[in-house]
Structure 1
């Protein structure tokens, strides 16, 4: 019997096929008897083609703003940032991922140009986001070009990030502000930046990096997660005892709620930690998180989470396309690490999410949405920041998930 997610995938794929035919992007003539994979493959191809066109428009828009990078588009206004904003590496990363999918001189030139705008962040030591900034931009650039300068930048960034590790606490500090409330705050997002250190450990054969990663990942697994495998957003540690003194969900509905993007960060983080370390504890953690999310009673049928799974306003509250994109990218990879029905469960759900995101409900029309690919993401709902807008990291993990699905054929 088909799960409710596969039924929902059928419901989305069929109207999406008609939509794509009308646009002239693809011919989707699969019959009901054929596997969903036929429709999904067509969706992936057309979604990548659209993403390339839309992202090139965005690249050209910011071409003459020499130190600026796109951040969002809100109330018909472009919102940009310089490299200091934590999201600065995502748009260069989008361009690299699109270049990987469809190599062209134009994409390569823009990817290099926007990556260069982030280069100074290799020296960032005052926040943990150097991983996002540098590894999404220079990391993808080095993976695809093997440019030795990119390698040097990434290694410098890893050294910078490592300065935020305190061996007495065994974790990388996330933030330096609000010291009256937080002694040593660690946010679940920080699990994503460990990939930079793992790469540096492999490249430099410096075991201190991998030791930091293991300690941070293990202590996060111990203290960030509740018994049902949902996670807090922020855990602050006492600097003397190295034990948590305060736990909260700063960007969620309440301290005990499940903020959707935070859950997605954890899923993605422990998935790649298993890939890189082969430590089965991390695989088990990723599976527990995935099962919590996929079986959650407030997970919508189309796979796009509400901004918080415990929002009292469900279903009349914003969805978060960024959480769905991160989840989808993680689930495609996680499906390779498990067998049988569980593998199908994870990959089918990722396909559902991608098919929904590629539909007109979430994908912008060419030239609209400020040049961003996806609509309907949420930055920080309780802080009244970036609500129901496009966001660069939603686009980044969406394109990454598309590439992963394309490679699975």
Structure 2
């Protein structure tokens, strides 16, 4: 039961408390020195590139009490392989130092075989966060070709009877028997929008838009919170089940899922200019913000906010901060622009604080992320994608600062 669905006095009190916290975050001002924080990120990267010199592996997490990244072997099933190269490309963008370009290339080029990945939807994360950054910053034709092939692989998972891209294979997730779509999939659509712009072929964008529309229709509750997993009948497109995999319960609000939705619909509006996606991004963002505790860093599931012993998820905060900065930049109304920028600033202030910064603790940027608590995995750790979106949020906020 969500705090908005509850009609008890306790539920009403929780809702009022959420409104007060939301009003507080909308008054925040940026306290972070963005340049200094990006310099801190660079110092952390200098440590990790020395340790992580096996380019057939990738940093994924740092356990509590450990100094260095755990380095699983690159694998087609590991959706996180593109984030560390993407961080290095972002640092090259920030500094213009060729050292970071060279380090990024060493870790990007081994991923090329994954352009043929048709095993799951995460070819978008894997290739657009790595090769996408590489192409953005170098314009090299060979990187473009890798990305187009990646987009071709991704659209093989599209089912026109359903109107979405299938996220996971049933062999690896046998509890679902047919067409599975998860909210995370929204971010893989960016690769498809890019492919239509680069090739002139509208098919990629058409699939991305249809996926976003179908997800908007079936993935969200009346309060604009998102389900994690929706299973469709692969032949009729009818919804079979709405569940969670990484949230607390099927009807709870998994924090990172809500962050994916916030970021995803903001991106879809940027790529389409369709106001319905902007309106939806605003509502989804408001629901994320309404679930935040006083320090603006969500518990791993919003339905567990304030419960003793439950971990936070800095990765959800970082994803949301980046999405909120972009959302603010796309708004024309000055009051709304300020409102969502303030929300991003409140999150960034907390992430950069001693409570969440990895400064002096380990080689990451951020502490206290939660990957998959129901499975007992990656609980209260540093996660590579938290760092990726944190650096992106800092870069976007700095660009906004320069444009003011």
The more displaced of 49-58 and 391-400 is 49-58
Separation of aligned partners in 1, 2:308 and 2:174: 36
Query: Secondary structure of the residue that 1:335 maps to in structure 2?
Result: helix
Deviation (angstroms), 1:205 = 1.1
Contact 1:83 1:121 in 2 (8 A): no
Contact 2:48 2:69 in 1 (8 A): no
Equivalent residue for 1:49, pick from 39, 47, 55: 39
**Equivalent residue, structure 2, for 1:82:** 73
**Equivalent residue, structure 2, for 1:108:** 101
Equivalent residue for 1:59, pick from 49, 52, 57: 49
Query: Secondary structure of the residue that 2:153 maps to in structure 1?
Result: helix
Deviation (angstroms), 1:242 = 0.6
Equivalent residue for 1:359, pick from 353, 356, 360: 353
**Equivalent residue, structure 2, for 1:156:** 149
Contact 1:326 1:398 in 2 (8 A): yes
Query: Secondary structure of the residue that 1:332 maps to in structure 2?
Result: helix
Separation of aligned partners in 1, 2:122 and 2:140: 23
The more displaced of 139-148 and 337-346 is 337-346
Deviations 1:139-187 (A, max 9, x none): 0111111111111111110011111111222210001133453311100
Equivalent residue for 1:321, pick from 307, 314, 317: 314
Query: Secondary structure of the residue that 1:247 maps to in structure 2?
Result: strand
Deviation (angstroms), 1:340 = 2.7
Matches within 5 A, 1:259-338: 259-296=254-291, 299-311=292-304, 314-338=307-331
**Equivalent residue, structure 2, for 1:73:** 62
Separation of aligned partners in 2, 1:153 and 1:377: 31
Query: Secondary structure of the residue that 1:185 maps to in structure 2?
Result: strand
Deviations 1:328-382 (A, max 9, x none): 000001112221322211101101111111111111124x42x211100000111
Equivalent residue for 2:366, pick from 347, 354, 374: 374
- TM-score between both structures, scaled by the size of structure 1: 0.88
**Equivalent residue, structure 2, for 1:169:** 162
Contact 1:183 1:239 in 2 (8 A): yes
Q: Which runs of 5+ in 1 are unaligned?
A: 10-35
Deviations 1:24-47 (A, max 9, x none): xxxxxxxxxxxx45x43x2x1111
Separation of aligned partners in 2, 1:180 and 1:309: 24
Deviations 1:225-256 (A, max 9, x none): 01100000000001122111010121111100
Contact 1:122 1:130 in 2 (8 A): yes
Number of equivalenced pairs: 374
Contact 1:5 1:302 in 2 (8 A): no
Contact 2:293 2:306 in 1 (8 A): no
In structure 2, the CA distance between the partners of 1:102 and 1:123, relative to structure 1 (3 Å rule), is: same
Q: Which runs of 5+ in 2 are unaligned?
A: 1-19
Separation of aligned partners in 2, 1:78 and 1:99: 21
Deviations 1:301-353 (A, max 9, x none): 22111100002762541110000000000000111222132221110110111
Deviation (angstroms), 1:271 = 0.1
Equivalent residue for 2:189, pick from 177, 183, 194: 194
- TM-score between both structures, scaled by the size of structure 2: 0.89
Contact 2:369 2:383 in 1 (8 A): yes
Separation of aligned partners in 2, 1:208 and 1:379: 33
Deviation (angstroms), 1:218 = 0.5
The more displaced of 74-83 and 143-152 is 74-83
In structure 2, the CA distance between the partners of 1:180 and 1:289, relative to structure 1 (3 Å rule), is: closer
Equivalent residue for 1:399, pick from 391, 394, 401: 391
